[in-house]
Amino acid sequence: MTNRFGTNDDMIIQDVVENGTIYALAIDSRGLYLTTRDKLNTRMADVNRFACDRSAVAARLSALGLNPAQLASDNQHKIKTTEVSEKKVNPLKASKRAMKKNS
């Protein structure tokens, strides 16, 4: 199952060392981002994935001698997409319907 908010091992491209700190370079549908290894496979939302400025990541990678555009194009196969159903279900109404059926 694809994790919509967290970071999994299959999203990681490579490790990057910046100022003595080791970051994991990852990719999702919005592009490249840097996260830490303690955020991987936790089934919780990764703050580094949503709270970071993606343009700053490209500048940081360029400063380290990496080509962000080339990394993104080479790793497009790692991007997993999730399908969102068209019909949205209100959980309150669904629980009320279930209570009526059980009564």
- What is the predicted pLDDT for the residue at 83? 60
How many C-beta atoms lie closer than 10 Å to residue 83's C-beta?
Answer: 6
Q: Burial-class residue 39 by CB neighbours within 10 Å (0-12, 13-18, 19+).
A: middle
Residue 101 has pLDDT above 70, yes or no: no
Residue 1 has pLDDT above 60, yes or no: no
Instruction: Return the amino acid letter for 95.
Output: S
- What is the predicted pLDDT for the residue at 81? 67
pLDDT digits (tens, 9 = 90+) for 11-65: 899 999 999 999 999 998 888 999 999 888 888 888 888 887 888 888 889 899 9
What's the rounded Cα separation, in Å, for the pair 74 and 87?
35
pLDDT digits (tens, 9 = 90+) for 77-99: 888 766 665 677 777 776 666 66
- What is the predicted pLDDT for the residue at 89? 72
Beta bridge partners of 12: 26
